[in-house]
C-alpha cells in the first residue's frame, strides 16, 4: 500500500507540470527588480535599480542582461556558481527548476511575490519569495524548499538570494574586525574572480566578518552620491556572501548560510525556509543605503524597539566587574539617579548558589541569586531602583553554561559535545554552549527569562549575552544522520525561544550582546531592542567602530557608553570626559564606570550631557543619518549628523581624531537640510567651565551650510562639539 502511494507520487512528479510565463516588476517606492519567466520555465533576472527602467527600455537600450534568478546546480553552466544545490535521495545532484505558478499577497505594508518552481524530474518544490516594501526601498528575498522524495534529501548549498549585475567599476564595502575592534569598513573594487566574506563562529556572526555589504556601482564609494546597493543577511549563524565576477560581463552576488559542515538534511514533506536577504538600492551613496536600512529596521519591524528611544543607563560591568555587592549596586543607583539617568543595569556576577560566580569560570546556568553578594535578593534591588525613580535591568547569558555549575552536573547531555572526545572549553577554561537544537534546552533557556520576570516583574531590561563560539560540534539530541543540521538548528532553536520570550514579554527591553558586538545582525534584531556595539568603550576607537556600525544599523539600536580613563586597552591615554560624552551621545547613551571614582568635572559634564541628550534624543535615536567626514579618511576630523523627517531640526557631532600643528582641518559641509530654511546653531554639552563657541547662536541657510560649510573650532587634543540646528 505504502509503496503504491509513493509510486504514484513519483509518477506525479515526473508528469510535466504546466510552466508559468510572464514578466514581473517588483517595486518599492523608488526601485524596481525585473524578472521574467520564459517558455521552458526558468526564472531570470534582468535588472535591479532605479524605478525608471522597464524591460522594453532596457531592450531598446541594447541591454541584454538576463540570468537565472536562483541558479541551481545542474541548470547553470559549469562556470557559474549555484545558489541552490541539493542531493536527491539517490545521490543525484541535479536540479532544473521551472516556474509553475506566480502569486502575490499584500498586507498593506508590503507585497510578497511568490514564484513556485518545480524540478523537472524529482518531486521538489522551491518557492522563491520577494517581499517589496511600500514605504521603504527594501526588497527581501528568500526561498522555501520542500520535497516528497522517498527519503531525506540534503541541501548542500541553500543561499537566500542571488543578484546579477552588469560588470563595471563596482566596489564592495564590507565590515570586519575582531573582538573589541568591530566593524571596520573595507572598500575595494570587485575584480575578476570570487570574493567571499564568511563567518564560522557558529553562535555569533559579526565580530570578524559581518553579514552585510554594499556595492557602489559608480566606482570608489561616496557617502552622499552614487548608485549603491546594500545587502543584509538576516541570520545570526554562519554565513557566506560571495561575489563572483565572471566572463567580463557580470558580477553575481550570492548570500546565505555557509554550508560548511552544515549540509542540511531535509525529511520528506518538511519545509526549509532560508533566512531573508534584505536588499536596498539608492542613488544617494552609502549614507542613502544606511538611511534605508535604518528606516526599514525601525519602521518595518526589523528592530523590536521600532521608533522608540532607549533610556540613559548605567551598566555595572566596567565599574565593578564581577565584584557585586548590594551596597555597591545601590550606591551606583544613587549616582546614576543624581546624574539624571533612567535605568540601572546589574551586569555579570550576581548569581550562583553551590558555585557562586566569583570569577568567570563557573555558574552560568545557575540563575539563582548569590546570597553572599546580595543577601536581600533582587527584590531589594528592584525596590531600591523604584525608590530612586530608576528602572532596573539584569544580565544573563542563557545559552551557555560552565562545566563548573549545577546545571552541567544535572544535565551534561544538554551541552553541544563531540562524541567520544573531550569538551573544548571557552571563557574561563570551562564555558560551553547549550544544545539549542534540543526542545528541552529551549524550554530551559526560555525559563531563564520567564522565571526572572515572574519572580521580579519590575525588571524592565535584560542584557542577553553570548560569550562562546560553537567549538563542540555534536548534539546528543539530533540523530546521527542529522548532525550536519547543528549549525542551522541551533539558531532556529534560538529564534523559537526568542519568539516565545517576545510573545510573553513584548515590552521588556532586551539588549543583544555577544562579547560586545558579536551579534549585530538583522536575524536577531526583530527580537532585541538594541545591541552592545563593542566591549571596547575607548571613545576614540568608538568613533571608528560606531561609524562602521552605522552603515547598516540605526542609532537607537547602538548602545554607546561613557567609560573611565585611562582605559584597559589604550595605555595611559586620557580622553577628556567631554569627548567621551559627545561620542556616546550619538547613539543610545549610557555610562559604564564606577561613578564614585569620577572627578567633580566628570560628574558635572555627565549631568549636562544627560540633560542635553534628553532633549536631542528623538532626533539622534530616530533621525536620518548623514555621515559627513569619515575617521577612516584620516583628515583629522570625523563628523556625522541626524535630521528629523521635516528637516526642521538636526544634531551635528564633530570629533577631532588627531591633532597636529598647522593641520588644515576640512571645512564642514552639512547634508540632509532644507536648502531654503534658516537654521540657528546652538552648541550643546558645552565643556564644563567653558563658554559656547563662536558659532553658537549664528544663523545660516541650509543652502549655505550644505554648499559653503562652517569652520568648527577644534583646537586641543580630543576636541569635540555637538550642535543642535533649529
Between residues 69 and 400, which has the closer beta carbon with respect to ligand DGJ? 400
Q: Which residues contact 224 (CB under 8 A, 6 or more apart)?
A: 284, 285, 287, 288, 626, 671
Cα-based angle 661, 663, 667 (whole degrees, multiple of 5): 145
Note whether 454 and 405 are within 8 A (CB): no
Between residues 427 and 669, which has the closer beta carbon with respect to ligand DGJ? 427
Torsion sign (Cα): 707, 711, 717, 719:
negative
What's phi and psi for 588, nearest 5 deg?
A: -85, 110
- Write out the residues near ligand DGJ by the rule CB under 6 A: 317, 347-348, 395, 465, 467, 513, 515-516, 532, 535
Name residue, grid cell 586620557.
Answer: 574
- For the chain, the straight-line distance linking the first and the last C-alpha, in angstroms and rounded, comes to 78
Give 543-581 as a DSSP string. HHHHHHHTTTS-GGGEEEEE--SS-TTSTT----HHHHH
Q: Helices 326-339 and 600-622, interaxial angle, to 10°?
A: 70
Name residue, grid cell 553579514.
Answer: 211
Burial string for 391-402 (b: 16+ CB within 10 Å, else e) reads bbbbbbbbbbbb
Cis peptide leading into residue 513 (ω within 30°): no
| Minimum separation from the CB atom of position 360 to ligand DGJ (A) | 6
Please state, in angstroms and rounded to a whole number, the distance separating the CA atoms of residues 603 and 665. Answer: 31
Please state, in angstroms and rounded to a whole number, the distance separating the CA atoms of residues 195 and 193. Answer: 7
| Minimum separation from the CB atom of position 561 to ligand DGJ (A) | 9
C-alpha cell at 152: 531525506
Pairing of strands 459-464, 509-512: parallel
Q: Which residue is nearest to ligand DGJ (CB)?
A: 348
Between residues 256 and 398, which has the closer beta carbon with respect to ligand DGJ? 398
Between residues 216 and 563, which has the closer beta carbon with respect to ligand DGJ? 563
| Minimum separation from the CB atom of position 531 to ligand DGJ (A) | 10
What's phi and psi for 635, nearest 5 deg?
A: -105, 15
Half-sphere exposure of 345 (CA within 13 A, CB side): 26
Please state, in angstroms and rounded to a whole number, the distance separating the CA atoms of residues 264 and 152. Answer: 10
| Element at 264 (helix H, strand E) | strand 264-266
Note whether 408 and 476 are within 8 A (CB): no
Amino acid at each position: 500500500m505504502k509503496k503504491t502511494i509513493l509510486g504514484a507520487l513519483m509518477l506525479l512528479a515526473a508528469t510535466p507540470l504546466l510552466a508559468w510565463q510572464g514578466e514581473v516588476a517588483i517595486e518599492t517606492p523608488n526601485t524596481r527588480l525585473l524578472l521574467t519567466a520564459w517558455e521552458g520555465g526558468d526564472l531570470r533576472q534582468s535588472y535591479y535599480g532605479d524605478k525608471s527602467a522597464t524591460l522594453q527600455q532596457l531592450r531598446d537600450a541594447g541591454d541584454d542582461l538576463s540570468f537565472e534568478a536562483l541558479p541551481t546546480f545542474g541548470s547553470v553552466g559549469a562556470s557559474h556558481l549555484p545558489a541552490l544545490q541539493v542531493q536527491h535521495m539517490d545521490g543525484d545532484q541535479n536540479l532544473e527548476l521551472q516556474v509553475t505558478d506566480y502569486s502575490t499577497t499584500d498586507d498593506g505594508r508590503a507585497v510578497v511575490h511568490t514564484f513556485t518552481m518545480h524540478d523537472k524530474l524529482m518531486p521538489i518544490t522551491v518557492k522563491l519569495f520577494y517581499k517589496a516594501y511600500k514605504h521603504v526601498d527594501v526588497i527581501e528575498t528568500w526561498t522555501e524548499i520542500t520535497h516528497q522524495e522517498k527519503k531525506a534529501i540534503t541541501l548542500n548549498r541553500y543561499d537566500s538570494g542571488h543578484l546579477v549585475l552588469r560588470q563595471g567599476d563596482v566596489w564592495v564595502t564590507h565590515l570586519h574586525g575582531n573582538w573589541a575592534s568591530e566593524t571596520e569598513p573595507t572598500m575595494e573594487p570587485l575584480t575578476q574572480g570570487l570574493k567571499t566574506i564568511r563567518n564560522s563562529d557558529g553562535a555569533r556572526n559579526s565580530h570578524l566578518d559581518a553579514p552585510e555589504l554594499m556595492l557602489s556601482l559608480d566606482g570608489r564609494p561616496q557617502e552622499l552620491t552614487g548608485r549603491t546597493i546594500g545587502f543584509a543577511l538576516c541570520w545570526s549563524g554562519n554565513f557566506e556572501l560571495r561575489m563572483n565576477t565572471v566572463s567580463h560581463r557580470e558580477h553575481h552576488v550570492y548570500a546565505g548560510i555557509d554550508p560548511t559542515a552544515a549540509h542540511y538534511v531535509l525529511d520528506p514533506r518538511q519545509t526549509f525556509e532560508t533566512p531573508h536577504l534584505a536588499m536596498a538600492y539608492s542613488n544617494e551613496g552609502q549614507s542613502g543605503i544606511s538611511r534605508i536600512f535604518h528606516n526599514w529596521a525601525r519602521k518595518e519591524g526589523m528592530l523590536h524597539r521600532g521608533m522608540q528611544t532607549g533610556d540613559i543607563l548605567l551598566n555595572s560591568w566596567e565599574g565593578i566587574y564581577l565584584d557585586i555587592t548590594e551596597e555597591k549596586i545601590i550606591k551606583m543607583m544613587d549616582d546614576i539617579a543624581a546624574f539624571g539617568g533612567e535605568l540601572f543595569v546589574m551586569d555579570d556576577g550576581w548569581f550562583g548558589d553551590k558555585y557562586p560566580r566569583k570569577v568567570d569560570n563557573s555558574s552560568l546556568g545557575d540563575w539563582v541569586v548569590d546570597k553572599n553578594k546580595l543577601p536581600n535578593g533582587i527584590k531589594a534591588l528592584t525596590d531600591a531602583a523604584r525608590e530612586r525613580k530608576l528602572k532596573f535591568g539584569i544580565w544573563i547569558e542563557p545559552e551557555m553554561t560552565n562545566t563548573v555549575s549545577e546545571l552541567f552536573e544535572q544535565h551534561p547531555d544538554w551541552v553541544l559535545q563531540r562524541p567520544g572526545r573531550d569538551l573544548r572549553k571557552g571563557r574561563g577554561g570551562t564555558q560551553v554552549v547549550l544544545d539549542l537544537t534540543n526542545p528541552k534546552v529551549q524550554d530551559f533557556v526560555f525559563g531563564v527569562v520567564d522565571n526572572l520576570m515572574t519572580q521580579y516583574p519590575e525588571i524592565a531590561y535584560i542584557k542577553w549575552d553570548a560569550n562562546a563560539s560553537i567549538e563542540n560540534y555534536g548534539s546528543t539530541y539530533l540523530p546521527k544522520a542529522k548532525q550536519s543540521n547543528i549549525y542551522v538548528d541551533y539558531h532556529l532553536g534560538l529564534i523559537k525561544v526568542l519568539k516565545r520570550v517576545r510573545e510573553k514579554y513584548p515590552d521588556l527591553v532586551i539588549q543583544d550582546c555577544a562579547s560586545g558586538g558579536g551579534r549585530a545582525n538583522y536575524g536577531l534584531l526583530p527580537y532585541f531592542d538594541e545591541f552592545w556595539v563593542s566591549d571596547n568603550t575607548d571613545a576614540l576607537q568608538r568613533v571608528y567602530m560606531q561609524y562602521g556600525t552605522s552603515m547598516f544599523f540605526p542609532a537607537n539600536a547602538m548602545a554607546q557608553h561613557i567609560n573611565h580613563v585611562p582605559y584597559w586597552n589604550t595605555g595611559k591615554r586620557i580622553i577628556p570626559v567631554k569627548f567621551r560624552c559627545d561620542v556616546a551621545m550619538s547613539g543610545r547613551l549610557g555610562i559604564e564606570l564606577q561613578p564614585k571614582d569620577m572627578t567633580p568635572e566628570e560628574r558635572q559634564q555627565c549631568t549636562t550631557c544627560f540633560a542635553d541628550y534628553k532633549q536631542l534624543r528623538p532626533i539622534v535615536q530616530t533621525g536620518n543619518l548623514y555621515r559627513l567626514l569619515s575617521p577612516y579618511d584620516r583628515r583629522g576630523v570625523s563628523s556625522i549628523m541626524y535630521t528629523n523627517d521635516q528637516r526642521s531640526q538636526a544634531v551635528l557631532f564633530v570629533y577631532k581624531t588627531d591633532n597636529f600643528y598647522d593641520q588644515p582641518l576640512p571645512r564642514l559641509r552639512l547634508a540632509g537640510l532644507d536648502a531654503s530654511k534658516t537654521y540657528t546653531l546652538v552648541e550643546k554639552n558645552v565643556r564644563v567651565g567653558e563658554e559656547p563657541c563662536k558659532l553658537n547662536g549664528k544663523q545660516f541657510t541650509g543652502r549655505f551650510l550644505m554648499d559653503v560649510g562652517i569652520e568648527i573650532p577644534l583646537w586641543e587634543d580630543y576636541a569635540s562639539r555637538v550642535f543642535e540646528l533649529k
